[in-house]
Amino acid sequence: MGDQERDDEAQLDSAIDDVLGAIADPGVEPEWWYNERTGEAEHGRQAHGVDRIGPFRTREDAQRAPEIVAERARRWREESD
């Protein structure tokens, strides 16, 4: 393994440790998003911004994103009438 490969591997290991540390940190709130393209809830910002709705506190709320958006839109329409 060359010097560049060792450096790349060390950077990747460090990035993984940072991510795992953030997930394990009890002070960090989970961040769930709804992916409109796949119709699935995702932890973290996995999809492009144009495909995401959120963030939500729980996976269950993220999965209900279409219902939540429709309800909010209905309320806004009623308020503006």
Express each pLDDT in 46-79 by its tens digit: 999 999 998 888 999 999 999 999 998 999 999 9
**30-40: average pLDDT:** 92
Domain ranges for the chain, please list them: 1-28, 31-81
Q: Is the dihedral of CA 77, 36, 61, 28 positive or negative?
A: negative
Strand pairing category for 32-35 and 40-43: antiparallel
* Cα separation of the two ends of the chain: 68
55 in Cβ contact with 31 (< 8 Å): yes
**Mean pLDDT, the chain, whole residue set:** 79
pLDDT digits (tens, 9 = 90+) for 10-27: 665 555 444 434 444 455
Which residue is associated with the tokens 């990747």?
12
* 77-80: Cβ within 8 A, 24+ apart: none
Q: Which two tokens stand for residue 6?
A: 């060792």
